[in-house]
Amino acid sequence: GQSLEQPSEVTAVEGAIVQINCTYQTSGFYGLSWYQQHDGGAPTFLSYNALDGLEETGRFSSFLSRSDSYGYLLLQELQMKDSASYFCAVRPRGNYGQNFVFGPGTRLSVLP
């Protein structure tokens, strides 16, 4: 089966750095994706890690370690607009009848 775990909530202050972890139990997947969703909005794609290591896109970075079944999203120089829910997702290999499997989401609150 496929399952992903994330912390339910994270709180940080403006200007700080926050790391949102994603641990998974899956027999195989193509890569780890991250999506951001503001309240009332649609999920928007942030990053994708096909290989182990760090991917950087502006203030956001994402990391994957397949050997540790672990990934994280790092947000730097936090801004109030970063308050949102963040989802990790994997696309399983093989015939699992799934396109993407999403984690439960982490609600990030950025305080002034």
Partner 1 sequence: KAGVTQTPRYLIKTRGQQVTLSCSPISGHRSVSWYQQTPGQGLQFLFEYFSETQRNKGNFPGRFSGRQFSNSRSEMNVSTLELGDSALYLCASSPASGGNEQFFGPGTRLTVL
* 7/104 with CB nearer partner 1: 104
Taking a C-beta distance cutoff of 8 angstroms, is the pair 47, 74 a contact? no
33 binds partner 1 (CB under 8 A): yes
Amino acid at position 78, single letter: L
Q: How far is the CB of 84 from partner 1 (least distance, A)?
A: 13
Structure tokens at 95: 């015939």
Phi-psi region for residue 81, left (φ > 0), alpha (ψ -120 to 50) or beta?
A: alpha
Enumerate the β-bridge partners of residue 58.
none
The single residue among 22, 103, 108, 110 that binds partner 1, judged by CB under 8 A, is 103
Q: Mark the segment that binds partner 1 (CB under 8 A) among 11-19, 55-63, 72-80, 90-98.
A: 90-98
From the CA atom positions of the chain, what is the Rg in Å? 14
What is the per-residue binding string for partner 1 in 34-73, x denoting contact by CB under 8 A?
-x-----xxxxx--x-x-----------------------
